[in-house]
Amino acid sequence: MADELAGKIAVITGGVSGLGLATAELFIEQGAQVVIGDFDDSGGDVADRLGPACRFLKTDVAKYGVRVNCLLPGQIQTGMIRQAVSSEVDPEKLEHHEATVHEIMQSYQPLKRKGEPRDAANAAMFLASDRFAYITGVVLPVDDGISVGDATNNVARFEEARSLFPD
Ligand SMILES: NC(=O)c1ccc[n+]([C@@H]2O[C@H](COP(=O)([O-])OP(=O)(O)OC[C@H]3O[C@@H](n4cnc5c(N)ncnc54)[C@H](O)[C@@H]3O)[C@@H](O)[C@H]2O)c1
């Protein structure tokens, strides 16, 4: 199990934080060599921390791609929401707003499971495996069932979540 990705070189976009970082960590654990693509300059520090299996490449990789699959995360706590709105929301309210958004989003999830960055990393590992080399161009929800859940009853709560943040 610990060398399921041995011999592979993975380019992981957005690998400095959140889901990309969790994916880089898992891929290295599984024997892959990893190149982090990110426009955050702290990528060099992250690469140092992850060790010799990781190299940092400052790049915007949107225009590149060979086998291209897309993960569609539901809501996994990574600080993404906080970062997106931190300059516009009263800092004292930020934590409460963020928790409220997560709580509302979880009401859409049929299984009510709290998503971890490792959940997205595991899905990336599934797609990176040789066993799934025939898969490309898929969009894979990693969302505790949000995309099949009954969201119609929750429109009001979605609006409530939206109203917490400026447009
Ligand atoms: N966390 C979730 O629940 C969730 C839900 C839906 C979608 N997503 C998407 O998943 C992706 C990762 O989310 P996350 O939660 O890990 O966010 P994050 O903010 O923790 O990490 C995103 C990383 O991508 C880097 N980045 C952003 N734009 C870039 C670019 N053009 N070129 C190179 N690097 C870039 C950032 O510097 C950062 O390190 C994002 O696209 C996000 O919109 C996340």
Flag whether the pTM goes above 0.75.
yes
10 alpha carbon – ligand 1 mean position (Å): 17
The gap between the terminal CA atoms of the chain, to the nearest Å, is: 45
In the block, tokens 């447009």 appear at 167
Query: How would you write the pLDDT of the chain (167 residues) with one tens digit per residue?
Result: 579 999 988 889 899 999 999 999 999 999 999 999 999 989 889 999 998 888 877 655 445 556 778 899 988 888 776 776 677 778 888 888 888 888 888 888 888 888 999 999 999 999 998 888 888 878 999 999 988 876 555 666 777 777 877 77
**Each residue's pLDDT tens digit, 120-135:** 999 999 999 888 888 8
Ligand 1 atom closest to the Cα of residue 79 is 20
**Positive or negative torsion for Cα 105, 80, 95, 117:** positive
17 alpha carbon – ligand 1 mean position (Å): 8
User: Please, what is the Cα angle at 43 between 41 and 45, to 5 degrees?
Assistant: 105
51 alpha carbon – ligand 1 mean position (Å): 22
Share of the chain above pLDDT 90, in %: 33
Cβ atoms of 161 and 101 within 8 Å: the answer is yes
Distance of alpha carbon 9 from alpha carbon 37, whole angstroms: 13
